[in-house]
Amino acid sequence: MRRFRGLTLIEVLVAVVILAVLAGLGLPALKAYSDRAYRSEAQGDLVACALALERWAGVRFTYQGAADTDADGVGDGDAGPIAAEVCAPRSAAEGRYRISISAGAEGFALAAHPEAGSVMVGDGFMTLDEAGNRAWDRNDDGELVAEEDGWEY
């Protein structure tokens, strides 16, 4: 009668190597997937804030005054963080993006910049204006060029 004595050291090492290879292949794919999801969340926030700004302008006949310059949640300026009374972006609440506005009487430009220290640093900023023009600084150089029009991946 033969007795089972357990796994040998070689068998354990082979199993550990296989797990390490699988983790090494899976983690970059998981990071790319989560980055894309967080970017999509910020894009959705930009669209939601743009719709909220249209409601804002429908009542006030201007886009001005939708920025919160003193962090009290109320719109009191034309440029700066978007006021909470206008919209409450989830990506900003989660600390991944900072949503800001630059507004005039006839139009606005929204921007989503990755927050310093967040997982999205290095992903580039995104913009949306009153005409629906979209751009994404894919190479994160701080400038938007013609090739970066749109939010396509």
Measured CA to CA in angstroms, residue 144 lies from 17, 51, 70, 141 at distances of 44, 23, 29, 8
Residue 3 lies in a domain: no
Residue 90 lies in a domain: yes
Residue 2 lies in a domain: no
By the 8 A CB rule, do 94 and 114 touch? Answer: no
What does the pLDDT profile of the chain (153 residues) look like in tens digits? Answer: 677 677 888 989 999 999 999 888 888 888 889 999 999 999 999 999 999 999 999 999 999 999 999 989 899 999 999 999 999 999 999 999 999 999 999 999 999 999 999 999 999 999 999 999 999 999 999 999 999 999 987
Amino acid (one-letter) located at 153: Y
Q: How many structural domains is the chain composed of?
A: 1
Residue 53 CA to residue 26 CA, distance in Å, equals 41
Residue 4 lies in a domain: no
Domain that residue 126 falls in: 9-148
Residue 39 lies in a domain: yes
Residue 1 lies in a domain: no
Residue 78 lies in a domain: yes
Residue 153 lies in a domain: no
